[in-house]
């Protein structure tokens, strides 16, 4: 039985912190799920960490669905959330409904995430009224980096802070079951968390959110092109992988791998008949 959105609300009410991670493939999702992480986001950050794009902007819905399907196949308990990519929910509410439904029907996700506050409220309301759970996302919204002028902390000034509080409240009213707060000053995130009854999930938003989300490639030390300030490396797998690959190359060149231990023998009589 998968984690439900009602269970997440109960976790907030019980002041139980909510861990969330991204995953983009079957094996990673399987490992994350087996550890017991309740929320897995198939983030459009896969554009950078899996596909090598410079940002999330080029990611298509077909690419997202491809990875979402793999993550769903690797999980049994976690609530899997599909990240709706750039311009798949902006043109019209009908477009947003169609694309969100693809995540649920084709991708197998149990919810979708979209960026924005008041501007997407009507879309959130429509999706949730049709039975599609929606996670909001405010603060630093990567799909708007050209408008924001880059990856910058949001909500430092009074006006923008007030807007973020309003955005969070409007998203809750529209039916969102949770909100990601990205790169927002910690005191502001604490205030938003107090002012909303749905769980807040922080990333670079301080310790007082109801939960935290990180990109799996960052915490495992797999993605080394750039390490965000908000990320903590719990492992350095890129270094370990390089060592393992170098060992493999050396053993192949020296003919020390493979050995008969890694090979299949053949019956001597059969071999004798072949040599006649």
- Would you call 7 a catalytic residue per the annotation? no
Radius of gyration, alpha carbons of the chain = 23
The strand pair at 178-182 and 134-139 is best described as parallel
Say if residues 95 and 76 touch (Cβ distance below 8 Å): no
Q: How far apart are CA 80 and CA 75, in angstroms?
A: 8
Marked catalytic residue, from 34, 63, 106, 182: 182
Own/partner pairs, 97-100, CB within 8 angstroms, 24+ separation: 97/126, 97/127, 97/130, 97/132, 99/61, 100/127, 100/132, 100/134
For residue 186, the tally of other CB atoms under 10 A from its CB is 15
Tokens encoding 146: 């050209």
Catalytic residue list: 182
């Amino acid at each position: 039985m998968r984690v439900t959105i009602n269970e997440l609300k109960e976790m907030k009410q019980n002041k139980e912190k909510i861990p969330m991670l991204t995953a983009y493939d079957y094996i990673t999702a399987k490992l994350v799920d087996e550890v017991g992480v309740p929320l897995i986001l198939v983030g459009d950050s896969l554009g950078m960490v899996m596909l090598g794009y410079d940002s999330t902007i080029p990611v298509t819905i077909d690419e997202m669905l491809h990875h979402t399907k793999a993550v769903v196949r690797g999980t049994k308990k976690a609530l899997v959330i599909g990240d709706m990519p750039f311009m798949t929910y902006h043109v019209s509410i009908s477009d947003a409904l169609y694309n969100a439904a693809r995540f649920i029907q084709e991708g197998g996700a149990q919810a979708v995430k979209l960026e924005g506050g008041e501007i997407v409220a009507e879309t959130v309301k429509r999706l949730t009224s049709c039975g599609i759970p929606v996670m909001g996302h405010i603060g630093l919204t990567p799909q708007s980096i050209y408008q924001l002028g880059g990856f910058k902390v949001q909500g430092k000034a009074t006006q923008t802070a007030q807007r973020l509080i309003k955005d969070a409240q409007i998203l809750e009213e529209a039916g969102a079951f949770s909100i990601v707060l990205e790169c927002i000053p910690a005191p502001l995130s604490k205030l938003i968390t107090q002012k909303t009854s749905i769980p807040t999930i922080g990333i670079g938003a301080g310790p007082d959110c109801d939960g935290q989300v990180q990109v799996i490639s960052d915490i495992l030390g797999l993605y080394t092109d750039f390490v965000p300030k908000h990320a903590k490396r719990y492992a350095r797998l890129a270094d370990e992988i390089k060592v393992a690959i170098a060992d493999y190359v050396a053993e192949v060149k020296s003919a020390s791998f493979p050995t008969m231990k890694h090979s299949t023998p053949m019956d001597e009589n059969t071999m004798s008949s072949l040599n006649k």
